[in-house]
Amino acid sequence: MKAAVIGIGGWGKNHLRALLTLRGEGLLDEVYAVDVDEGRLAWASRAYGVGTLRSIDEAVARDVDVAIVATPSPLHYDHALLLAEAGIHMLVEKPFTATLGEAVDLLSRAGDIVVTTGFLLRFHPGVRYVRERLREAVGRLVGVRSKRTSRWPSRASDVGVVKDLMIHDFDTVRYVTGEAPRTIYGVTATLEHEYDDFAQALVSYGDFAAVLEASWITPFKARRVEFTGSKGYIELDFVNDTVHVYNDAGVYSPSLPREEPLLAMDRNFLLAASGKGGEVVPREDILLALAACEAVARSSALGGPIPVDGLLARS
């Protein structure tokens, strides 16, 4: 297969590195870097020896089979649509598109090609551990709490903290529990950027609730999710890559495999695109995460709870 990484910024560079590793595993034959910035293309050629292209049209002309879109979020829809029209399997970094409406339209046009997004925490060993052992460890789930904070992002911000950070927690809860958010009560604040810099959300999932916090105003980095049940409690810490389980059996921290989630995600995408299995994010879950993010913003603006199903139906 031939692959293209479109957008060689921070995350594009990471994907480029991952694809070259996977080329070494025999999953790829050729890798191209695609960008309008000559300096970035020169870096990609010098650092990795890959072919360089200046547009998606050039990538289509080279008959690439798969592409990873890592351009600024407002451009995701336009760039992914070009790939969909050419029948190219794609992984689009999160947020999948800038709006839920764009995502609905893009997926409706994508036909039967493989389409996924950058929810790399699905491939984090700790998340996988919790997903497999949640009921055994905590019993009946009653509550989830997440904290995803840091100081102002060094990169240019093209989406707010909800679609940049909190979206991961919406997807992690979905992936671990299999449940979809029903109603969301959200509060956001804008301090330094055009978009939201702080957000808290109370989310009803039916049998349990979640309290999620995302912030760019907190002077320390936190990335953790906690699951509380009738018999125990699990804490997932992504900064330290640890899981701690507290229940009647005691307190323990399992040893986790040490595989990079980004590498595992890209490997699964390539396997799916080549028809060899591989796990990708279901299209329904792509839409659910975006709908939940937009429910937070709408709830904050209106001052009341927002049903997620209602947003999906209107889209």
Q: Which domains does the chain have, with CATH numbers?
A: 2-117 (3.40.50.720), 121-258+289-314 (3.30.360.10)
**Helix residue ranges, H only, the chain:** 10-24, 38-48, 56-61, 76-85, 100-109, 125-138, 161, 167-177, 261-273, 283-302, 308-314
Q: Quick check: 52 and 74 in contact, CB under 8 A?
A: no
Angle between helices 283-302 and 100-109 (to 10 degrees): 160
pLDDT in tens, 276-302: 999 999 999 999 999 999 999 999 999
- How far is the C-alpha of 265 from the C-alpha of 269, rounded, in Å? 6
Judged against a pLDDT cut of 80, whether residue 191 lies above it is answered with yes
| Per-residue pLDDT, 155 | 60
Per the listing, tokens 């939201």 go with 196
Judged against a pLDDT cut of 90, whether residue 131 lies above it is answered with yes
SS3 247: strand
Prediction pTM value: 0.95
Mean of the per-residue pLDDT values of the chain? 95
Cα torsion 157, 16, 115, 169: sign:
negative
Judged against a pLDDT cut of 80, whether residue 145 lies above it is answered with yes
Q: Report which of residues 153 and 251 the model is more confident about.
A: 251
- How far is the C-alpha of 235 from the C-alpha of 228, rounded, in Å? 9
pLDDT in tens, 248-280: 889 999 999 988 999 999 999 999 999 999 999
SS3 41: helix
Bridge-based pairing state of the strands 30-34 and 51-53:
parallel
| Mean pLDDT of all residues in 79-96 | 98
Q: Quick check: 92 and 71 in contact, CB under 8 A?
A: no
| Mean pLDDT of all residues in 69-79 | 96
Q: Quick check: 210 and 143 in contact, CB under 8 A?
A: yes
Judged against a pLDDT cut of 70, whether residue 314 lies above it is answered with yes
| Mean pLDDT of all residues in 15-38 | 96
How large a percentage of the chain has pLDDT more than 90? 92
The confidence band for 153, taking pLDDT boundaries of 50, 70 and 90, is confident
Judged against a pLDDT cut of 80, whether residue 156 lies above it is answered with no
pLDDT in tens, 44-72: 999 999 999 999 999 999 999 999 999 99
| Per-residue pLDDT, 315 | 81
Phi first, then psi: give them for residue 159, nearest 5 degrees: -140, 165
> What are the structure tokens assigned to 175, written together?
């992936």
Per the listing, tokens 């839409």 go with 287
> What are the structure tokens assigned to 278, written together?
């591989």
Identify the CA nearest to 238 among candidates 147, 133, 141, 104.
147
